[in-house]
Amino acid sequence: MKILLFILITFFTIPYNLYPQDIEDTLMLYGRNRFYKIHLPIGYSFQKSYPLVFVFHGGLGNPDIISKQTRFSEKADKEGFIVVYPYGTGSFNKKLLTWNTWDCCGYAKKNDINDVDFINAVLKRIKSEYLIDEKRIYAAGLSNGGMMCYLLACELSEYFAAIAPVAASMFDTVSCDPKSEVSIIAFNSINDENILYNGPSEADTSAEMKTLPVEKVINMWVNNFNCVHLRTSDSSSFQKISYINKNGTEIILYKMLSGGHSWPGGEKLRKFADNPVKNVSATDIIWDFFKSNPKR
């Protein structure tokens, strides 16, 4: 009897799963099936609430690619948070996908896909199925996925505590009026040939996207949230520029000195892609920033 009691107690007190779990789900929105993947960390339990991190793939990517590039699932297993990898849209089902982020990009923009409503629907679904710490909902993304982070900070700021755009910028046509403050950590390389750090000149007709200079975008957010310059620090790999306001909202720019159009510390998955720097882990830095910046 004692042995049976011990087994029952053990069964009902151990975590829900001892191994990480990846789940693909779908929802119908505006007559279209939309997809997303969820990564539940090692030891996930229905009895506790978890931070939630959206991770957005770049243009012509998908969740499998951004997961390998960033290794956010591995970070989630070590730190105990849930990751959701949404799929953009495209002509080839689950490959070569894009997000509709103002003046970019591809299929999603051409077909006027409402990706903000999609993410809002995914967030509502996840919150109904899992225990989520609503003060710790975050978004990170690369390139077109980083633009998606900026868009969410404009349109769904009441839900997101912080965002982390990597190799991304915004456009001068943007109308952005966030309902609440969102902390921001951004990574941009001065030798990125896709998202030009200083923006394309008027004479530069070769630039694929007419994005704003990175520091102009950062300054827009600094001014929106009444932040002040805190400090600037230099290293052999980057210049770190930090701002903060009286509410504790932080804005940090990592001005990378190399790495091009890539995820710092990430994996190079395509032959002709830029080589990421290896002595800086954007994933580690981003998670530390997220931990320090719950919704205020």
Distance CA 227, CA 77 (A): 34
pLDDT tens digit sequence for 262-293: 999 999 988 899 999 999 999 999 999 999 99
pLDDT average, residue stretch 9-33: 75
132-142/162-166 β-pairing:
parallel
CB under 8 A, 24+ apart: contacts of 91-94:
94/35, 94/62
Decide if pLDDT at 16 tops 60.
no
- Give the pLDDT of residue 273: 93
Name the 3-class secondary structure at 18: coil
pLDDT tens digit sequence for 143-171: 999 999 999 999 999 999 999 999 999 99
> What domains can you pick out in the chain, each with its CATH number?
16-292 (3.40.50.1820)
196-216 core/surface letters (b: 16 or more CB in 10 A; e: else): bbebbeeeeeeeebbbbebbe
pLDDT average, residue stretch 31-40: 98
User: Among candidates 285, 295, 263, which has minimal Cα distance to 56?
Assistant: 263
Question: Which pTM does this prediction carry?
Answer: 0.93
pLDDT tens digit sequence for 124-140: 999 999 999 999 999 99
